[in-house]
Amino acid sequence: MNTQSQDQSGERIAKYLARAGVASRREAERMIEQGIVTVDGVTLTTPAFKVTPEMDIRVDGTRIGKPDAPRLWRFHKPDGLVTTHKDPQGRATVFDALQGQLPRVISVGRLDLTTEGLLLLTNSGALSRRLELPSTGWTRRYRVRAYGRVKQSDLDTLKDGIEIEGVEYGPIRAQLDQTQGGNQWITMSINEGKNREIRNVCRHLGLQVNRLIRTAYGPFQLGKLNKGAFEEVPGKQLKEQLGRRICEEVGL
């Protein structure tokens, strides 16, 4: 497509698709590379192309309408579901479980197959990306059940961060809650959420995690939401929790 004669008004296609909840910006760029994104019948070759809602924008033949205002849902993810739209191994996904109950949504970060608890879902790729950034500074809180023995003094050593097998993990706040048979319950709070961070840190302390439940992501709480249930965060509350700067960034 000839971008030289293009009107410079509008919004970059990757950002537009992200706001429409089609995919994250990075995923949208990959779709363009695959040649499945068209504008007014012409296949796009660059994510820098700017579009307006009046254009005929399609992904793999499906027309994409004007992006809705960003929305956010709390979902109590059960274990046994993967947080991906398609799983190569054919396992059940979060989005299979929610099919037909929500508009097209993407997740804010991921939870492992066996991790339960709060998963935030949104129709906005821009909002998802913003909330995933470590610079947002939001705390992820978990309830951890682990087999083994550890003392509070051992957990206190995590407050300054720790390096395990060459991977540096940021400060972790950990509180020993109770002992139950051979297991101990611990509340752990992290700010980065690196891959399998809680499990790796616990293993380093000689603990084997056998249940992991995320109870909070920033200001959003799991609360009493039943397993497998979801609930939309009211628009007014969402704006209050995000703050003006983030709302302006994501078009809320």
Q: What is the DSSP string of 11-46?
A: EEHHHHHHHTTS--HHHHHHHHHTT-EEETTEE---
List the end-to-end C-alpha distance of the chain, in Å, as a whole number: 31
Active-site position among 68, 79, 87, 112: 112
Residue range(s) occupied by CATH 3.30.70.1560 in the chain = 139-217
Which fold would CATH assign to domain 72-135+220-250? Alpha-Beta Plaits (3.30.70)
pLDDT tens digits along 102-122:
888 889 988 999 999 999 999
pLDDT tens digits along 158-168:
999 999 988 89
For the entire predicted model, the pTM comes to 0.75
Catalytic: 79? no
Q: Which residue did the predictor score with more confidence, 173 or 84?
A: 173
Q: What's the CATH superfamily of 139-217?
A: Alpha-L RNA-binding motif (3.30.70.1560)
Contact present, 23 and 125 (Cβ < 8 Å): yes
Q: How confident is the model at residue 3 (pLDDT cuts 50, 70, 90)?
A: very low
Q: What confidence score (pLDDT) does residue 2 get?
A: 44
Residue range(s) occupied by CATH 3.30.70.580 in the chain = 72-135+220-250
Neighbours of 113 (CB within 10 A): 13
Q: What is the CA radius of gyration of the chain?
A: 21
Q: Which residue did the predictor score with more confidence, 24 or 184?
A: 184
Is 11-63 a domain of CATH 3.10.290.10? yes
